[in-house]
Amino acid sequence: MALAAKKAYPSECCGILVGKKSERGEIEVTEIREASNQTQGGEEATHFSIDPLFLYNIERELESRGLEIVGFYHSHPDCKAILSDEDIKYMVPGLVYTILSVSTQGVVDVKSYTRNSV
């Protein structure tokens, strides 16, 4: 994740957290998949989007392996690793969202968040 954030800077990077959820709601991340940020133009510095077909294909592959998408990560270039209003708006309950604060110095902070209910 840190390499993807540094590589994408000053734009946002994004990706998928793959793993398993326990019956108690614990999340285990076993793989990280980098995704292409589909947002174009100046917006790519402050927004990200992942191709829905890419997500669908990942889900199909993971299902056959007994794994699932357990969350997403993205970077906040030159901003704190806190949820933006847009991040909160699009959070899916039960998934983990990891945000990396990145600057010219590299990744300076990483925080993860979950939304337990709607």
> What global pTM score does this model have?
0.91
98 CA to centre of own chain: 6
For 110, the 3-state DSSP assignment is strand
Q: Name the nearest CA neighbour of 12 among 36, 48, 38.
A: 48
For 42, the 3-state DSSP assignment is helix
Percent over 90 (pLDDT), the chain: 81
pLDDT class of 107 with cuts at 50, 70, 90: very high
Q: How far apart are CA 35 and CA 12, in angstroms?
A: 11
pLDDT of residue 117: 57
pLDDT at 118 over 60: no
pLDDT of residue 46: 73
**What class, spelled out in words, does domain 2-114 have in CATH?**
alpha beta
pLDDT digit string, tens, across residues 68-95: 999 999 999 999 999 999 999 999 999 9
Q: How far apart are CA 53 and CA 57, in angstroms?
A: 6
